[in-house]
Structure 1
Amino acid sequence: MIDRGEVVKRLGDILTENTEVDVSKLTEASKIREELGLDSVDLVDVVMRIEGAYKIRLTHQDLQSVETIADLVTLIITKSETQNPGGTGQAVTP
């Protein structure tokens, strides 16, 4: 089982690496597009980093339902558990 807190922390690290957002002010209820101000290029980069860190594939359809940080964390956990059965699902440190 993947630790939600670890996913939140790693996602915060990924967002910090790729944006100028002060992630310390974000909560799981924060809206990704509105509060992070990510343009489409930034969002693609963030998704690619998530995919690399968790060894998962996120589709456009997966991301359409993501509005908040909590939605994204839940998606990461779900995809990690289904796409990496038997694995820890934990992020790979670069």
Structure 2
Amino acid sequence: MFRLAALSSLRSAFRPSFVQGMTVRRFGDAAGLLAKDEVTERVLSVVKKFEKVDPAKVSATAHFANDLGLDSLDGVEVVMALEDEFALEISDEDAEKIVSVADAIKFIAANPQAK
């Protein structure tokens, strides 16, 4: 038992740490969820940076296909960009349900793994 604990602490002690840009995180509720306004701001930022999107058309209620003119492959790319932004994995089943900015905000704000 102690050997396992010692190995675990050694692994974490010698694991290289990578320095990235500073991230400011506001903590949401006690469940560890991100605040909805923070999620909204970050989702809007990701979608606005997508090369095929006119940033002026992006809103919290914009539909990927109807309002932003994205096809299904573009929608997948946006979901992948959101996975990168929030450091989480979105299953294929859940990704198919994310067809608008509002869907993305709702899913991410309710996901405890989102960072």
* TM-score (structure 2 length as normaliser): 0.58
* Unpaired segments ≥5 residues, structure 2: 1-27, 29-33
Partner of 1:8 in structure 2? 40
Q: Does 1:38 align with 2:42?
A: no
Partner of 1:69 in structure 2? 101
How big is the alpha-carbon RMSD for the aligned residues of Structure 1 and Structure 2? 2.1
Higher-RCO chain (CA-CA 8 Å, sequence separation at least 6): 1
- Structure of greater Rg: 2
Between structures 1 and 2, the one with greater helix share: 1
**Structure 1: distance between partners of 2:57 and 2:49:** 16
**Structure 2: distance between partners of 1:55 and 1:29:** 23
User: CA 1:25 to 1:44, structure 2 compared with 1: closer, same or farther past 3 Å?
Assistant: closer
Letter in 2 for 1:6: E
- Per the TM alignment, residue 39 of structure 1 is displaced from its structure 2 partner at its CA by 1.5
Number of residue pairs matched? 83
| Percentage of pairs with the same residue | 25
Secondary structure of 1:75's aligned partner: helix
**Structure 1: distance between partners of 2:97 and 2:65:** 12
Q: After superposition, give the CA deviation of every residue in 1:7-35 in whole Å (9 maximum; x if it has no partner).
A: 11111111121144344544333322211
Answer yes or no: is the 8 Å Cα contact 1:12–1:23 preserved in 2.
no
* TM-score (structure 1 length as normaliser): 0.68
Letter in 1 for 2:49: E
* Unpaired segments ≥5 residues, structure 1: none
**Structure 1: distance between partners of 2:48 and 2:103:** 18
Q: Does 1:55 align with 2:107?
A: no
